[in-house]
């Protein structure tokens, strides 16, 4: 949490300049009345299309926490250069409100850095956090704090974490911090010198007894590289979400917080054309949604948004399926271009009904936080 108003206004101008994104110009003049939330929790199920949701629901006794959301919309997921987006361009749309090329991390189509909603939130004195079941440097979380021309530049992306004042991060990728090939830096030590408390799966499991002292920024690395699938025993997403919320609230009792939580591996099940993988990841992500909703319902001051960057696999539930035994099929090992659902709950949720560009999710979050009006 640091004041960076000058940088904000410079980057804010670029990010909001309608000329850089014609799709935004028609959506900014007709906002409905809404109640501004104090906190926003954005939950991204990577690769989570309607079939992934349906399969997870049927195989979970025909029930998901997603059913608790009163407002539902749809977004158009295409990127700057491809009708079929990747997760990097998809995340830049949410994080910075622009369409960019596939593979871009926090940069526009000209590879110029664009301010992110997390950086906006930092500049306005909110607490911020990222939680993922991939490495924390993977495309989706990376687009909220890093600015690199390619998603494969994990060591550069890790170094970008040092340039933020993010209060909390939980995810994999430890080796890109302390076993680097690019340089001899030890980013874990550098983070500690900056005032972070850093822990990892090797020192202590992520569970309720893990100490997260809100006096310090906190990072926890869940794996050397990619975390395990849920089916192989990875189980931290729900507790990390609960503890993360508690931590961010304590970090910023007055200004509120922005938290992004990603169910990263629904996408990986789609790439593998593995229905069981998709379903176990979907149910794991929904469990985290349930925890977030328990908090948001009690709190009354938190906007929760659940969406995906794109669908993965061209996943289908075919004839011959029953509620507890699905006959599934796939059209591709990559992503597809269908409309993606958006679920919203809490103050400001009414902004999210309708059909809009993926970039509008950024516009709506920014509007909900009233970043252009306050302070």
**Are the C-beta atoms of residues 185 and 148 closer than 8 Å to each other?**
no
Residue 140 partner contact from Mg ion, Zn ion, none using kind-dependent CB cut-offs of 5 to 8 Å: Mg ion
Write the DSSP string, 206-241.
SSTTS---TTSEEEEE--SSSPPPGGGT---HHHHH
- In eight-state DSSP terms, residue 352 is G
Stretch that binds Zn ion, among 12-20, 160-168, 262-270, 360-368 (CB under 5 A): 262-270
Interaction pattern, residues 314-343, with Zn ion; x per rule: CB under 5 A:
------------------------------
Contacts with 45 (C-beta within 8 Å, 6 or more apart), sequence order: 52, 262, 263, 266, 282, 285, 306, 307, 308
Q: In angstroms, give the least distance from the CB of 235 to Mg ion.
A: 19
Residue nearest to Zn ion (CB): 267
Nearer to Mg ion (CB atom), residue 277 or residue 369: 277
Q: In angstroms, give the least distance from the CB of 215 to Mg ion.
A: 31
Number of residues that bind Zn ion (CB under 5 A): 1
Task: Using alpha carbons only, give the angle 152, 122, 218 rounded to the nearest 5 degrees.
Answer: 70
Nearer to Mg ion (CB atom), residue 24 or residue 92: 92
How many angstroms from the chain centroid is the CA of residue 57? Answer: 21
Residue 264 partner contact from Mg ion, Zn ion, none using kind-dependent CB cut-offs of 5 to 8 Å: Mg ion
**Positions that interact with Mg ion (CB under 5 A):** 46, 87, 140, 264
Pairing between β-strand 311-312 and β-strand 302-307 as defined by DSSP bridges: unpaired
List the 257-263 sheet strands across, edge first: 196-200, 217-221, 168-172, 127-135, 257-263, 39-45, 302-307, 340-345, 71-76, 354-357
Nearer to Zn ion (CB atom), residue 202 or residue 334: 334
Nearer to Zn ion (CB atom), residue 187 or residue 279: 279
Write the DSSP string, 78-113.
--SS-SS--HHHHHHHHHHS----TT-BSB-TTS-B
Tell me if residue 87 is catalytic.
yes
- Among 87, 134, 280, 349, the active-site one is 87
155, 165, 267, 286: which one binds Zn ion (CB under 5 A): 267
Interaction pattern, residues 3-32, with Zn ion; x per rule: CB under 5 A:
------------------------------
CA 340/CA 327 separation, integer angstroms? 22
- Asked whether position 311 contacts Zn ion by CB under 5 A, the answer is no
Interaction pattern, residues 135-154, with Zn ion; x per rule: CB under 5 A:
--------------------
Q: Which residues have a catalytic role annotated?
A: 87
Positions that interact with Zn ion (CB under 5 A) = 267
């Amino acid at each position: 949490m640091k004041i960076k108003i000058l940088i904000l206004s410079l980057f804010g101008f670029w990010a909001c300049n309608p000329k850089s994104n014609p799709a935004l110009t028609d959506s900014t003049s007709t906002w409905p009345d809404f109640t501004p939330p104090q906190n926003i929790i954005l939950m991204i199920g990577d690769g989570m299309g309607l079939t992934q949701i349906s399969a997870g629901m049927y195989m979970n006794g025909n029930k998901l926490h997603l059913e608790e959301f009163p407002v539902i919309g749809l977004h158009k997921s295409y990127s700057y250069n491809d009708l079929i987006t990747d997760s990097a361009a998809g995340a830049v749309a949410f994080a910075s409100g622009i369409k960019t090329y596939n593979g871009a991390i926090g940069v526009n189509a000209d590879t110029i850095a664009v301010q992110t909603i997390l950086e906006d939130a930092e500049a306005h004195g909110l607490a911020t956090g990222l939680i993922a079941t991939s490495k924390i440097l993977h495309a989706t979380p990376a687009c909220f704090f890093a600015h690199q021309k390619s998603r494969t530049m994990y060591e550069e992306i890790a170094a970008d974490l040092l340039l933020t004042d993010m209060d909390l991060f939980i995810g994999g990728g430890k080796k890109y911090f302390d076993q680097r090939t690019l340089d001899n830096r030890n980013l874990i030590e550098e983070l500690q010198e900056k005032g972070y408390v850093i822990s990892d799966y090797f020192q202590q499991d992520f569970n309720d007894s893990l100490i997260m002292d809100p006096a310090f920024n906190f990072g926890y690395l869940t794996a050397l590289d990619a975390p395990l699938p849920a089916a192989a025993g990875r189980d931290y997403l729900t507790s990390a979400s609960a503890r993360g919320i508690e931590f961010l609230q304590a970090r910023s009792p007055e200004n509120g917080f922005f938290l992004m939580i990603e169910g990263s591996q629904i996408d990986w099940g789609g790439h593998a054309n593995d229905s069981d993988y998709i379903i176990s990841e979907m149910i794991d992500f929904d469990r985290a949604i349930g925890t977030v909703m328990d908090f948001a319902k009690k709190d009354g001051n938190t906007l929760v948004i659940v969406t995906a960057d794109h669908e993965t696999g061209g996943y289908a539930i075919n004839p011959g399926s029953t509620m507890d035994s699905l006959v599934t099929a796939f059209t591709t090992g990559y992503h597809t271009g269908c409309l993606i659902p958006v679920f919203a709950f809490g103050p400001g949720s009414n902004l999210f009904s309708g059909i809009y560009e993926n970039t509008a999710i950024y516009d709506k979050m920014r509007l909900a936080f009233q970043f252009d009006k306050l302070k």
